[in-house]
A and B are shown apart, each in its own frame.
Chain A
Amino acid sequence: MVSWNIRPIASALWRNRTGAILVAIQIAIGLAVLVNAVYVVKQRVDKISRPTGMDTANMIFAVSAGFARDYDYDASWREDIATIREIPGVKAASMISNIPLSGGGSSSGFQAKPGEATPEQSIPGNTYLVDEQGVAALGITLSSGRPFEPQEILPPSETFDSASQAIVTKAFAKSLFPDDANPLGKSFFDGLGKPIAIVGIIEHMHGAWVGWDKLDHVVLFPRIKSGPSSIYLVRTEPGRRDAVMRDMEAKLGNSNPGRLLRWVRPMDYFIHQSYLDDRNMAIFLTSVTSALLAITALGIFGLATFNVSTRIRQIGTRRAVGARRLDIVRHFLVENWMVTTAGVVVGCAGALAVGYWISLKYELPRLDLYYLVGGVLAIWLIGLFAALQPARRASAISPAVATRTV
């Protein structure tokens, strides 16, 4: 029968407790940080990798800003759009009022019935003005209905944006008409009571602000954005995005001295920028937590090495009186496991406390216990590996050491 010798190991440990306590505290902090870091990073990664509903990999935006006093906005955007649509590799191009997922946009409240609405009855939507190629250029899927027709596109309006028709996302339609499975053709109302007919329903699409829980409430109106600056949305065939961007810069860059082609950028640029803080937080947490665990592992390693080096004679003696190498390895591993476990017990409490604080700060659901279980297992493994090398070195000590004087 294998004897684990828990009692003598524990009492030997207790006699030299300072180092062990220091390591246990490190482990406790390490566990508390690890569990919560993984939890927060998971939230961020989930957020960043949500489907957008758009063909983001092949989308380009360009902004043209007219500044000359005699700038003819109407003629200019028509010419630009025509030029862009002729570039080889372009699938569709549309005027658009804002850039989705860029952190800048426009939102309004809408309601299912006209008249005074309570705050709960007012359903917010990210609004975009697009032309007849808008749906194709965004690369969104219509689950029912149709895109806008060319003759439906309204001219620029200085101030108010809604139209009598709209294409909306399923999520927005569901919020407006919770009981209606297919509200195609129904009308909803803007804040002034103007009716808007739903001509198409988008399966899924993201709007302006990635931190907003109504991100998937999108409303497209058939209207040209007002001047003097215009935003062009272009969707290319797969793999031709960069070539089309170069063509656009060459063709639009100097075509009109009354305006400035501010930039031509891929959609990925805006997505990257919008999720920058989330991505950086994930990177930062991951690297600091890894460094912290590495340092903790070094601490465990240092303690085990120290314990071995002060007990060389004792180990030699044990070997001389019949202990096998395996017994020596087991001794140090069990000793180390006790330290780790003491740290883990304190660390669990710490992890839950930190988790509670974080869930308050971020208004997240409470820490899932699976994370805690995973964290404990990970810390046990790290402790085991950190102590393995010193334990094996201890087992290599020759029994002859016991007979030497110094």
Chain B
Amino acid sequence: MFGYYLKLATRNLRRNLGLTALMIGAVALGIAVCVMTLTMYRAMSGNPIWWKNDVLYAVTMDFWDPQQPYWDDKPELPPEQLTYRDALAVFASDIPERKVIMHKATGILSLDGKQVKPERVTTRVTTKDFFAMFDVPFQYGGAWTDAADTGPEPVMVISRRMNDTLFRGENSVGRRIRWNDNEFRVVGVRDHWLPLPTFYDVNNGSLEEPEDVYIPFGWNAALEIYSAGNTNGWKPEDITSYQGFLDSENIWIQMWVELPDLAAHDRFRNFLDNYATEQKKAGRYQRPLNNRLTRPDQWLVDNDVVGNDDRVLVGLAFAFLAVCLLNTVGLLLAKFLNGASITGVRRALGASRRQVFAQHLVEVGVTSGLGALLGLALGGLMLVGLRALYTVDPADAGGTQALAHVDLTSVATALVLALIATMAAGLYPAWRIGRIPPATYLKAQ
């Protein structure tokens, strides 16, 4: 029976090509816009470390200006970064299972002997737990040791991409690289890794690609490294040396901890509060006690990683899909009613309502299936166009280039959603046509 309905459906679709094209086009356009917008939204709002959401915490402490909070619009939140001295003091705690203090810097990479042109690279100055904590994959080698952090030892982890450029993809563990003209030894090559958004540092664009180079945190003081991200201060201070900068109230360090259970969480909270209370006695931390441990999902919300534009676009996409579906329902209804005299004959010859309904539903299925296929192709094209819109300079790494990595799950989700919606939209016309009393259409007209 199904095969026969399918044949009928294709014949009906061919009978009125203009109308058919209109319907399929409407479904396709609706699905395409939804696929595109949802992909974009997911890239910006997903939690890329959801499997560790219960154990990872961003550490923030409120020591800001007693006169005014850090955030104008969210006065209850502490600043999103820490001062160098606070970060070091809190890092000394052994309560967390893993802990990381870090910031972004830039450096010039060069090799001895001029085989490659010096290249400017984004660099994460961090502690060794960064890799284990965020499940960073390695192609060769691995993270450095605890001793390398404080030493600091001249060790370095580079990205697979950088390894491809510098060493043509060979295992480069043990090779020497110069970073700002200081010699480092490669201990690990980070494999492809693209957490979207880059939750661990939300300061400068959350769709940046992760850094190409990682060096131990201890190098800050030794090489006088400044942050290439945001540095913010509230207190007028006369800073005359790098050491003065390290001791200042400027914030530029991000801190994350891994706390395996609630007990550890509470103990670490206590530790933070005790530290802040101690500092209060010394004249700092003049704001009400407000230390926070924030999980990744809440962290992304607090830091406005999902902008207002994105929410408006998602609303628009659904309005668009609604119009497309309404359109399809209207056109299907018109089409089915147009063919009502034939349906009347079928009913008179003994087809049950259920059979008429099933037959029309098959036609709806064919229409929406074709629409969905076309919509997917169209959505892909739109994403290519979108990438072009966001690419300022193709040679530039980072930026919103990360949008290039469309993940299949979100496309599949949008597609299934749209297919179901279209099928649901087709239910009413199919049902309606089955309700028509055959006699009406067997009359003279």
A: residues with CB less than 8 A from B are 18-19, 22-23, 25-26, 29-30, 32-33, 37, 40, 65, 67-69, 118-119, 158-160, 190-192, 260, 262, 269, 272-273, 276-277, 280-281, 283-285, 288, 291-292, 295-296, 298-299, 302-303, 305-306, 309-310, 313, 354, 358, 361-362, 405-406
Complexed CA–CA distance, A135 and B308 (Å): 37
Nearest-neighbour CB distance to chain A for B285, whole angstroms, equals 19
Give the residues from 62 to 91 in chain B that come closer than 8 angstroms, CB to CB, to chain A: 67-68
Residue in A69, A190, A295 whose CB lies within 8 Å of B26: A295
Complexed CA–CA distance, A68 and B178 (Å): 10
| B329/A298 in contact, CB under 8 A | no
Interface centre among B19, B331, B393 (most CB of A within 10 A): B331
A119-B67 in contact given A22-B330, A68-B181, A291-B320 (Cβ < 8 Å): yes
| A192/B238 in contact, CB under 8 A | yes
Which 6 pairs between the two chains have the least Cβ-Cβ distance? A191-B236, A306-B334, A67-B108, A22-B330, A159-B239, A299-B327
Per-residue contact bits, chain B 205-247, to A (CB 8 Å; 1 contact, 0 not): 0000000000000000000000000000000111111101100
Complexed CA–CA distance, A303 and B107 (Å): 64
If A158-B242, A272-B392, A299-B323 are given as contacts, then 13 extra A-B residue pairs at C-beta distance below 8 Å, sorted by A number, are A26-B330, A118-B67, A159-B245, A190-B236, A192-B238, A288-B320, A292-B323, A298-B22, A302-B331, A303-B334, A306-B338, A358-B312, A362-B308
Complexed CA–CA distance, A281 and B68 (Å): 33
Complexed CA–CA distance, A262 and B33 (Å): 39
B residues in contact with A295, CB < 8 Å: 26, 29, 323-324, 327
Give the residues from 154 to 204 in chain B that come closer than 8 angstroms, CB to CB, to chain A: 180-182
Specify the chain A residue showing the minimal Cβ separation from B244: A159
A296-B323 in contact given A33-B316, A119-B68, A291-B29 (Cβ < 8 Å): yes
Complexed CA–CA distance, A285 and B319 (Å): 12
Give the residues from 302 to 328 in chain B that come closer than 8 angstroms, CB to CB, to chain A: 307-309, 311-313, 315-317, 319-320, 322-324, 326-327
Per DSSP, chain B at the interface is helix
Residue in B319, B330, B333 whose CB lies within 8 Å of A32: B319
| A299/B33 in contact, CB under 8 A | no
Specify the chain B residue showing the minimal Cβ separation from A70: B181
Nearest-neighbour CB distance to chain B for A116, whole angstroms, equals 9
| A29/B323 in contact, CB under 8 A | yes
Nearest-neighbour CB distance to chain B for A364, whole angstroms, equals 10
A to B CB contacts below 8 Å, 28 in the list: A18-B333, A18-B432, A22-B330, A26-B327, A26-B330, A65-B108, A65-B120, A67-B108, A118-B67, A119-B67, A160-B238, A260-B118, A260-B119, A273-B392, A280-B386, A288-B33, A292-B323, A298-B327, A299-B326, A299-B327, A299-B330, A299-B331, A302-B330, A302-B331, A302-B334, A310-B337, A313-B445, A406-B445
Complexed CA–CA distance, A405 and B239 (Å): 99
Complexed CA–CA distance, A23 and B331 (Å): 10
Q: Does B123 contact A (CB under 8 A)?
A: no
A residues in contact with B432, CB < 8 Å: 18
B residues in contact with A313, CB < 8 Å: 445
Specify the chain A residue showing the minimal Cβ separation from B30: A295
Specify the chain A residue showing the minimal Cβ separation from B231: A106
A298-B26 in contact given A32-B319, A273-B392, A291-B33 (Cβ < 8 Å): yes
Complexed CA–CA distance, A25 and B181 (Å): 67
Per-residue contact bits, chain B 237-269, to A (CB 8 Å; 1 contact, 0 not): 111111011000000000000000000000000
Q: Does B444 contact A (CB under 8 A)?
A: yes
Residue in B108, B181, B312, B327 whose CB lies within 8 Å of A361: B312
B residues in contact with A262, CB < 8 Å: 120
Complexed CA–CA distance, A307 and B106 (Å): 68
Q: Does B110 contact A (CB under 8 A)?
A: yes
Per DSSP, chain A at the interface is helix
A residues in contact with B389, CB < 8 Å: 276, 280, 283
B residues in contact with A281, CB < 8 Å: 309, 313
Complexed CA–CA distance, A262 and B236 (Å): 33
Complexed CA–CA distance, A56 and B203 (Å): 28
Q: Does B275 contact A (CB under 8 A)?
A: no
B residues in contact with A118, CB < 8 Å: 67
A405-B444 in contact given A33-B319, A118-B67, A299-B326 (Cβ < 8 Å): yes
Complexed CA–CA distance, A262 and B118 (Å): 10
Specify the chain B residue showing the minimal Cβ separation from A360: B308
A residues in contact with B312, CB < 8 Å: 40, 358, 361
Complexed CA–CA distance, A279 and B50 (Å): 33
Specify the chain A residue showing the minimal Cβ separation from B19: A302
Nearest-neighbour CB distance to chain A for B100, whole angstroms, equals 25
Q: Does B271 contact A (CB under 8 A)?
A: no
A residues in contact with B68, CB < 8 Å: 119
| A23/B330 in contact, CB under 8 A | yes
Nearest-neighbour CB distance to chain B for A195, whole angstroms, equals 14
Complexed CA–CA distance, A4 and B239 (Å): 83
Give the residues from 365 to 404 in chain B that come closer than 8 angstroms, CB to CB, to chain A: 386, 389-390, 392-393
Specify the chain A residue showing the minimal Cβ separation from B382: A287
A residues in contact with B19, CB < 8 Å: 302
Complexed CA–CA distance, A160 and B33 (Å): 50
Complexed CA–CA distance, A362 and B308 (Å): 7
A residues in contact with B120, CB < 8 Å: 65, 260, 262
Complexed CA–CA distance, A25 and B323 (Å): 8
B residues in contact with A67, CB < 8 Å: 107-108, 110, 118, 180-181
A residues in contact with B180, CB < 8 Å: 67
| A159/B324 in contact, CB under 8 A | no
Complexed CA–CA distance, A22 and B444 (Å): 30
Interface centre among B241, B329, B444 (most CB of A within 10 A): B329
| A302/B118 in contact, CB under 8 A | no
Complexed CA–CA distance, A243 and B315 (Å): 47
B residues in contact with A29, CB < 8 Å: 319, 322-323, 326
A residues in contact with B322, CB < 8 Å: 29
Nearest-neighbour CB distance to chain B for A117, whole angstroms, equals 9
Nearest-neighbour CB distance to chain B for A271, whole angstroms, equals 11
| B392/A276 in contact, CB under 8 A | yes
Specify the chain A residue showing the minimal Cβ separation from B237: A192
B residues in contact with A277, CB < 8 Å: 307, 309
Nearest-neighbour CB distance to chain A for B138, whole angstroms, equals 27
B residues in contact with A190, CB < 8 Å: 236
A residues in contact with B244, CB < 8 Å: 159
B residues in contact with A32, CB < 8 Å: 319
B residues in contact with A25, CB < 8 Å: 326
Nearest-neighbour CB distance to chain B for A121, whole angstroms, equals 11
Nearest-neighbour CB distance to chain A for B397, whole angstroms, equals 13
Complexed CA–CA distance, A288 and B40 (Å): 15
Complexed CA–CA distance, A161 and B327 (Å): 62
Nearest-neighbour CB distance to chain A for B195, whole angstroms, equals 21
Complexed CA–CA distance, A46 and B389 (Å): 20
